């Protein structure tokens, strides 16, 4: 066959050829027998003959050494395909045995005929019924035609693997989830047939395919498990109901007999006492119910059968109407009049279930005079006490008496099995208290599926399964997993002796919570904030498995106010941890900075501060760097082995009074690049109070770092840069060991504020993380300084279930472009084209409203507002009507951000708004400004609005992504 080469007018055999002649596709599947039996040197041309003769000559003159190159051994399970000058020798594949080849002109390719196996990596597949599953398989194949396996495909094994991956995805995409779970053998057979047909031209026979595992998303597993549990419970209840029905008939017959003679009941009572006395014990029987009856007061005819009045009959059952109490459950609630005093209590009942109680409460915020108490029967000690929420802002903007109920949650797990009772007290002559919908026994199904417990549970932000959470710790990426460690107290919704909680994710959005990673050694110590990273070169010496790199955690150990840095390591991808035997690695020496207390706006240092280490590898100096907070400054340490650390420098004391009138915490230092400068370092620090929005917040500084000291850049001197202008963004740090091909700087923060963070009105948990953000550094030409921009990670957009778009529309005053859209969790991206005249209009504004209540809600209106006033170029955020705002006096409701002149110059204003069940995150002008705030609306407040006042506004686009 002639070789096509435009530079040669002749082929290798000397014959002329037509340059336009196409080379046919090589296919040896149906090669004629005559072609196989042709002479070994047939068709090789004059040049070929010359090379063959030369090869023989060289072989003869170099005997016996040439025998090592000319004799080849082919094993029993192999076949050899020999090519002479690129042409297959006649006779087909050779072997097994010894074979002679000519050096330089012959090429031998050995083909293994044994059955080979390979694993098909897990494939993410969207099934026909729109469920995402991950499926992997194993394929068994062998080569049945060595010649075409060499001539028709470059690498049979690799080609078969790629074909298996695509075939698995294509076949599973046509199946429903039920078919995938129940018909694995059918799917495996279909895949085998499909692969066998596809690999036949390659000389490969696919003998068998097996589906190994089908993995469902964790939320789907939980839903299916809950559905199965509910089905089992339903069947059990049916059986129990049938038994109760039969028992009821018998009891009815007994009751009818007893009713004919009242003395029979007394005789039965005496018979029971006789039976007890015969057992020779001192048992006393009290009629104690396990649960309260009529817990929602809907059985009005028997509403107070479980309650005992104490010298008062003021408490009564009241129904709701259009002017009052639309927030109660059902039609009735228990209430005291405004001018009455007294108390009422329930019968005794036993604490059961998971150890949670919840109820609706309204009325005066006066715990001394109006309250609901949970009392331990054995000693009459009050376990819990709750007063009403106080005044509530009405839709007119004025506060009114709080007939609106708020749901409260009590953790009574420490009293499981104990006998208790509820007591409702009203000793106020001008106040009142009301309760409704009491739940004294809570199940797993309630926590997982009941809206009482899910009302504020975020959908796409991480929150712990139960109990307290604050700062993110140890953000590290390893082996295709994002690790999120976090400050966690697993026994209550308050911050006590802190543990390290642990969760992992494949995409930063869906998280799986794992067991506690690092617990403290006793009830006094605490495992405070720190960092984690991969020890790639085993500098610590902790590595045990060659294939698994150790994860290192360096954190603050706190006990009795004494803070020092400890280390722990993991050799199983972070699943279990071992504390370093020679801790501490960095003890507290003479510390001149202390934590603070604020009295009359005067900051006083009272406790030593030496906490929150962040560790990273500094390639320029080939050493490890540890940056840690000293309260009024940060300290930089260096180490070669992660055990012995040397103080290199301190920074920040000179900026204390200028930039942070609070304690610095959770520092993070990392390198970033701009188009103009490839060596810029960013120092991120959290401040525990007196931030730009009040309470806690985050600052950052831009400069250089040489492995010894940090120096502010000239474009950042005397500048206090805020990472987020909202009240609920704190303690953020960035991920370690993000792969170079990704090259993102990803940050996660605690979405809360220390002013009120311990009192959030959530159910069985307290605390959530902000959305993971991707950071970029740029030079702002309007301020001539470095700035960080922030955007939600792109993985979030993979979870959209519906997209609604508007393009190039004029928004008229009084209209609402979004009035027909309902949603609880969604993303809005919008761009406004503002004309010059609007910036001179003092009454003009535009904006959004989220989580709005419906128009038929007459008693209270709910909404959260973001509005832009062009005249002063300011964004205003208002959560005063966002729902529950009365849980803490420090929960501010109004904020603003003044933008730079970019909006004036370009006439463009861009919004990116993330709304979850209890939060709003705002990114302005491609993340140039960020704002994060918590909100606590009713679940049924699902309306939204896009409005303008004072002028019509052109919107370039508005995309609503429902999640």
What's the pLDDT band for 18 if we cut at 50, 70, 90? very low
* Cβ-based neighbour number of residue 836 at 10 Å: 9
| CATH class of this structure's domain 800-962 | mainly beta
Instruction: Calculate mean pLDDT across residues 620-642.
Output: 94
What's the pLDDT band for 231 if we cut at 50, 70, 90? confident
Residue 868 and residue 848: Cα distance in Å, rounded? 9
Of 527, 633, 621, the C-alpha closest to 577 is 527
Q: Which pLDDT score, from 0 to 100, does residue 258 have?
A: 61
- For the question of whether the overall pTM of this predicted structure is more than 0.75, the answer is no
What token pair was written down for 197? 């047909």
398: left (phi over 0), alpha (psi -120 to 50) or beta: beta
Residue 714 and residue 703: Cα distance in Å, rounded? 8
Q: Which pLDDT score, from 0 to 100, does residue 489 have?
A: 95
Q: Do 320 and 305 touch, CB atoms closer than 8 A?
A: no
Q: Phi first, then psi: give them for residue 850, nearest 5 degrees.
A: -125, 160
Residue 880 and residue 892: Cα distance in Å, rounded? 8
Q: Which pLDDT score, from 0 to 100, does residue 394 have?
A: 45
Q: Which pLDDT score, from 0 to 100, does residue 734 have?
A: 97
Residue 176 and residue 199: Cα distance in Å, rounded? 27
* The pLDDT of residue 321 is above 70: no
Secondary structure (3-state) at 43: coil
Q: Do 402 and 333 touch, CB atoms closer than 8 A?
A: no
Secondary structure (3-state) at 722: strand
Q: What is the three-state SS of 835-893? A: CHHHHHCCCCEEEEEEEECCCCCCCCCCCEEEEEECCCCEEEEECCCCCCCCCCCCCCC
* Cβ-based neighbour number of residue 646 at 10 Å: 11
* The pLDDT of residue 930 is above 50: yes
Q: Which of 190-199, 278-287, 470-479 has the lowest mean pLDDT?
A: 278-287
Residue 793 and residue 738: Cα distance in Å, rounded? 13
Residue 225 and residue 238: Cα distance in Å, rounded? 20
- Considering the chain, what percentage of its residues have pLDDT values greater than 70? 84
Q: Which pLDDT score, from 0 to 100, does residue 8 have?
A: 32
Q: Which pLDDT score, from 0 to 100, does residue 267 have?
A: 63
Instruction: Calculate mean pLDDT across residues 228-241.
Output: 80
What's the pLDDT band for 854 if we cut at 50, 70, 90? confident
Q: Phi first, then psi: give them for residue 445, nearest 5 degrees.
A: -65, -35
Residue 651 and residue 587: Cα distance in Å, rounded? 20
The DSSP secondary-structure symbol of 348 reads P
Residue 627 and residue 703: Cα distance in Å, rounded? 15
The DSSP secondary-structure symbol of 366 reads -
**Alpha-helical regions (H) of 173-292:** 177-182, 184-199, 218-260, 263-278
Residue 705 and residue 667: Cα distance in Å, rounded? 14
Residue 341 and residue 369: Cα distance in Å, rounded? 9
What's the pLDDT band for 218 if we cut at 50, 70, 90? confident
Residue 766 and residue 751: Cα distance in Å, rounded? 11
What's the pLDDT band for 465 if we cut at 50, 70, 90? very high
Residue 230 and residue 800: Cα distance in Å, rounded? 29
Q: Which pLDDT score, from 0 to 100, does residue 446 have?
A: 87
Q: Do 533 and 626 touch, CB atoms closer than 8 A?
A: no
Q: Are strands 551-559 and 132-143 parallel, antiparallel or unpaired?
A: unpaired
What's the pLDDT band for 783 if we cut at 50, 70, 90? confident
What's the pLDDT band for 895 if we cut at 50, 70, 90? very high
Q: What Å distances lie between residue 647 and 577, 637, 644, CA to CA?
A: 27, 4, 10
Q: How many residues does the chain have?
A: 963
Based on its alpha-carbon atoms, the radius of gyration of the chain, rounded to whole angstroms, reads 37
* The pLDDT of residue 634 is above 60: yes
What would the pLDDT profile of 160-187 be if each residue is shown by its tens digit?
888 888 888 888 888 888 888 888 888 8
* The pLDDT of residue 217 is above 90: no
Q: Do 473 and 529 touch, CB atoms closer than 8 A?
A: yes
* The pLDDT of residue 935 is above 80: yes
Of 109, 84, 79, 75, the C-alpha closest to 94 is 79
* Cβ-based neighbour number of residue 389 at 10 Å: 21
Of 550, 543, 539, 552, the C-alpha closest to 640 is 539
Q: Which residue has the tokens 């301020």?
A: 783
Buried b (16+ CB within 10 A) or exposed e, 730-767: bbbbbbbbbeeeeebbbbbbbbbbbbbbeebbbbbbbb
Q: Which pLDDT score, from 0 to 100, does residue 675 have?
A: 80
Q: Phi first, then psi: give them for residue 541, nearest 5 degrees.
A: 80, 15
Beta-bridged to residue 489, according to DSSP, are 468
Q: Do 276 and 283 touch, CB atoms closer than 8 A?
A: yes
Q: Do 375 and 381 touch, CB atoms closer than 8 A?
A: yes
What's the pLDDT band for 268 if we cut at 50, 70, 90? low
Q: State the angle between helix axes of 156-172 and 184-199 in degrees (0 to 180), rounded to the nearest 10.
A: 140
* Cβ-based neighbour number of residue 41 at 10 Å: 16
Residue 515 and residue 500: Cα distance in Å, rounded? 10
Q: Which pLDDT score, from 0 to 100, does residue 601 have?
A: 36
* The pLDDT of residue 744 is above 80: yes
Q: Which pLDDT score, from 0 to 100, does residue 12 have?
A: 30
Q: Which pLDDT score, from 0 to 100, does residue 566 have?
A: 97
Q: Do 151 and 119 touch, CB atoms closer than 8 A?
A: no
Question: What kind and span of H or E run contains 162?
Answer: helix 156-172
Q: Which pLDDT score, from 0 to 100, does residue 108 have?
A: 84
* The pLDDT of residue 714 is above 80: no
Q: Which pLDDT score, from 0 to 100, does residue 344 have?
A: 87
* The pLDDT of residue 135 is above 60: yes
What token pair was written down for 636? 């930089």
Question: What kind and span of H or E run contains 47?
Answer: helix 45-61
Instruction: Calculate mean pLDDT across residues 22-26.
Output: 39
Q: Which pLDDT score, from 0 to 100, does residue 333 have?
A: 82
Q: Do 457 and 760 touch, CB atoms closer than 8 A?
A: no
Superfamily of domain 455-596+604-791: Glycosyl hydrolase domain; family 43 (2.115.10.20)
Question: What kind and span of H or E run contains 750?
Answer: strand 745-750
Q: Which pLDDT score, from 0 to 100, does residue 555 have?
A: 97
Beta-bridged to residue 827, according to DSSP, are 914, 961
* Cβ-based neighbour number of residue 448 at 10 Å: 16
Mean model confidence pLDDT for the chain: 83
More confident residue, 170 or 737: 737
Buried b (16+ CB within 10 A) or exposed e, 307-316: beeeeeebbe
Q: Which residues are catalytic?
A: 471
Query: Which range in 62-71, 225-234, 269-278, 827-836 is most confidently predicted, on average pLDDT?
Result: 827-836
- The sign of the torsion formed by the CA atoms of 345, 346, 351, 352 equals negative
Q: Which pLDDT score, from 0 to 100, does residue 6 have?
A: 35
Instruction: Calculate mean pLDDT across residues 664-681.
Output: 91
Q: Which pLDDT score, from 0 to 100, does residue 266 have?
A: 54
541: Cβ contacts below 8 Å, ≥ 6 apart = 641
More confident residue, 17 or 332: 332
More confident residue, 589 or 105: 105
Burial class (CB in 10 A: 0-12, 13-18, 19+), 70: middle
More confident residue, 131 or 758: 758
Fold category of 333-390+403-442 in CATH:
Jelly Rolls (2.60.120)
Architecture of the domain defined by 117-216: 2-Layer Sandwich (3.30)
């Amino acid at each position: 066959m002639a070789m096509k080469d435009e530079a040669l007018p002749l082929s290798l055999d000397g014959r002329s050829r037509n340059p336009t002649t196409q080379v046919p596709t090589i296919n040896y599947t149906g090669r004629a027998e005559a072609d196989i039996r042709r002479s070994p040197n047939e068709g090789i041309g004059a040049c070929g003959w010359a090379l063959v003769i030369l090869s023989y000559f060289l072989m003869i003159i170099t005997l016996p050494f040439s025998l090592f190159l000319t004799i080849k051994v082919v094993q029993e399970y192999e076949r050899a395909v020999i090519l002479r000058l690129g042409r297959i020798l006649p006779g087909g594949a050779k072997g097994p045995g010894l074979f002679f080849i000519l050096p330089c002109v012959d090429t031998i390719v050995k083909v293994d005929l044994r059955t080979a196996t390979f694993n098909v990596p897990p494939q993410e597949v969207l099934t026909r019924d729109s469920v995402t599953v991950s499926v992997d398989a194993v394929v068994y194949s062998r080569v049945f035609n060595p010649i075409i396996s060499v001539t028709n495909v470059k690498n049979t094994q690799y080609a078969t693997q790629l074909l298996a991956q695509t075939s698995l995805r294509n076949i599973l995409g046509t199946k429903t989830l039920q078919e995938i779970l129940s018909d694995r053998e059918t799917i495996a057979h279909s895949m085998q047939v499909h692969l066998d047909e596809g690999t036949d031209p390659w000389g490969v026979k696919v003998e068998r395919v097996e589906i190994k595992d089908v993995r469902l998303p964790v939320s789907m597993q939980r839903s299916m498990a809950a559905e199965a549990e509910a089905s089992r419970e339903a069947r059990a209840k049916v059986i129990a109901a049938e038994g109760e029905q039969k028992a009821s008939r018998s009891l009815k017959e007994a009751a009818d007999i007893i009713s004919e003679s009242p003395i029979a009941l007394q005789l039965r009572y005496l018979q029971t006492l006789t039976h007890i006395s015969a057992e020779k014990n001192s048992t006393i029987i009290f009629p104690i119910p396990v649960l309260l009856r009529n817990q929602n007061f809907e059985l009005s005819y028997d509403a107070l059968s479980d309650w005992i009045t104490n010298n008062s009959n003021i408490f009564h059952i009241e129904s709701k109407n259009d002017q009052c109490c639309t927030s109660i459950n059902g039609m009735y609630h228990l209430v005291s009049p405004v001018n009455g005093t007294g108390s009422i209590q329930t019968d005794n009942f036993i604490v059961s279930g998971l150890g949670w109680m919840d109820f609706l409460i309204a009325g005066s915020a006066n715990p001394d005079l109006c309250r609901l108490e949970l009392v331990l029967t054995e000693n009459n000690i009050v376990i819990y006490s709750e007063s009403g929420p106080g005044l509530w802002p009405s839709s007119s903007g004025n506060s009114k008496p709080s007939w609106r109920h708020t749901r409260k949650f009590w953790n009574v797990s420490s009293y499981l099995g104990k006998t208790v009772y509820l007591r409702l007290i009203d000793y106020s002559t001008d106040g009142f208290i009301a309760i409704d919908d009491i739940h004294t026994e809570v199940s797993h199904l309630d926590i997982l599926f009941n809206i009482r417990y899910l009302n504020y549970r975020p959908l796409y932000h991480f929150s712990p399964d139960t109990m307290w959470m604050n700062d993110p710790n140890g953000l590290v990426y390893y082996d295709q997993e994002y690790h999120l460690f976090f400050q966690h107290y697993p026994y209550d919704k308050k911050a006590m002796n802190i543990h390290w909680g642990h969760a992992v994710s494949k995409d930063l959005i869906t998280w799986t919570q794992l067991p506690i990673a690092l617990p403290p050694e006793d009830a006094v110590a605490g495992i405070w904030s720190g960092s984690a990273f991969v020890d790639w070169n085993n500098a610590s010496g902790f590595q045990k498995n060659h294939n698994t790199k150790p994860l290192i955690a360096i954190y603050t150990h706190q006990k009795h106010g004494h803070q020092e840095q400890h280390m722990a390591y993991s050799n199983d991808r972070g699943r279990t941890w071992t504390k370093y035997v020679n801790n501490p690695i960095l003890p507290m020496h003479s510390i001149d900075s202390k934590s603070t207390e604020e009295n009359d706006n005067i900051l006083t240092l009272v406790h030593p501060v030496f906490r929150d280490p962040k560790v990273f590898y500094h390639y320029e100096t080939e050493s490890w760097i540890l940056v840690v907070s000293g309260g009024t400054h940060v300290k930089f340490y260096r180490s070669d082995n992660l055990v012995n650390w040397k103080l290199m420098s301190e920074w920040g004391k000179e900026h204390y009074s200028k930039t942070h009138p609070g304690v610095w915490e959770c520092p993070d230092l990392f390198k970033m690049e701009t188009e103009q400068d490839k060596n810029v370092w960013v120092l991120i620090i959290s401040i525990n109070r007196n931030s730009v929005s009040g309470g806690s917040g985050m600052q950052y500084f831009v400069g250089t770092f040489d492995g010894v000291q940090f120096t502010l850049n000239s474009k950042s001197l005397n500048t206090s840069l805020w990472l987020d202008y909202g009240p609920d963004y704190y303690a953020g740090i960035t991920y370690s060991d993000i792969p170079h091909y990704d090259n993102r700087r990803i940050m996660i923060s605690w979405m809360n504020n220390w002013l009120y963070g311990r009192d959030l009105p959530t159910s069985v948990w307290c605390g959530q993380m902000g959305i993971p953000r991707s950071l970029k550094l740029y030079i702002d030409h309007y301020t001539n300084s470095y700035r960080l921009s922030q955007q939600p990670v792109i993985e979030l957009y993979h979870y959209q279930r519906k997209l609604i778009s508007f393009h190039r529309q004029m928004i008229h005053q009084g209209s609402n472009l979004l009035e027909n859209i309902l949603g609880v969790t969604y993303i809005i991206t919008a761009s406004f084209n503002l004309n010059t005249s609007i910036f001179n209009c003092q009454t003009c504004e535009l904006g959004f409203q989220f989580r709005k209540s419906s128009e038929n809600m007459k008693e209270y209106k709910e909404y959260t507002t973001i509005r832009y006033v062009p005249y002063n170029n300011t964004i205003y955020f208002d959560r005063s009507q966002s729902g529950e705002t009365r849980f803490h006096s420090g929960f501010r409701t109004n904020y603003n951000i003044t933008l730079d002149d970019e909006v004036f110059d370009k006439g463009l204003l861009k919004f990116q708004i993330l709304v979850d069940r209890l939060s709003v995150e705002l990114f302005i002008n491609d993340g140039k400004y960020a704002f994060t705030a918590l909100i606590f609306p009713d679940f049924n407040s699902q309306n939204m609005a896009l409005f303008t006042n004072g002028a019509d506004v052109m919107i370039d686009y508005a995309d609503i992504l429902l999640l």
